[in-house]
């Protein structure tokens, strides 16, 4: 079955520290990969996406992610975290196969807390 794993339920970092949030997907076909952020009372916002090409993608708010096919991973990184980055982060995967090209499969999310 297709699934997305975010191994870290909760992460706490200090402001200014670097951040890496992990994401692994299970299905072997070429995936379309996404990272979204969800802040309380706000809708999910797309941070970045990967479809093909350069495996290191840049997103909004200073985030980047790297697709590693050999590890079935798409980890999200930020060099220096700001207090406003505290939120829930979701990794999502989509596929372009018949009957399954309309929906995204989501991880359980990683809750990020930022210490001042």
Partner 1 sequence: ETGVTQSPTHLIKTRGQQVTLRCSSQSGHNTVSWYQQALGQGPQFIFQYYREEENGRGNFPPRFSGLQFPNYSSELNVNALELDDSALYLCASSSGTGRVTDTQYFGPGTRLTVL
Among 35, 76, 107, 114, binds partner 1 (CB under 8 A): 107
Torsion-angle region of residue 101: left (phi > 0), alpha (psi -120 to 50) or beta?
Answer: alpha
Residues 13-32 close enough to bind partner 1 by CB under 8 A: 32
Residue closer to partner 1 by CB (options 84, 101) is 101
Cα three-residue angle 96-68-24, rounded to 5 degrees = 70
DSSP for 58-101, please give it: E-GGG-EEEEEGGGTEEEEEESS--GGG-EEEEEEEE--STT-S
4: contact with partner 1 by CB under 8 A = yes
Structure tokens at 12: 């706490």
Among 28, 43, 53, 116, binds partner 1 (CB under 8 A): 43
The region of 13-21, 35-43, 55-63, 66-74 touching partner 1 under the rule CB under 8 A is: 35-43
Minimum CB separation from partner 1 for residue 101, in Å? 5
């Amino acid at each position: 079955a297709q699934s997305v794993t975010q191994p870290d339920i909760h992460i706490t970092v200090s402001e200014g520290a670097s951040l890496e949030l992990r994401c692994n997907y299970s299905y072997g076909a070429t995936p379309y990969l996404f990272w979204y952020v969800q802040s309380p009372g706000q809708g999910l916002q797309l941070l970045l996406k990967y479809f093909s090409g350069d495996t290191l993608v840049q997103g909004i708010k200073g985030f980047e992610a790297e697709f590693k096919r050999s590890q079935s991973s798409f980890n999200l990184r930020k060099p220096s975290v700001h207090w406003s980055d505290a939120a829930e982060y979701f990794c999502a995967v989509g596929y372009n196969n018949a009957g399954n090209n309309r929906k995204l499969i989501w991880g359980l999310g990683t809750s990020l807390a930022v210490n001042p």
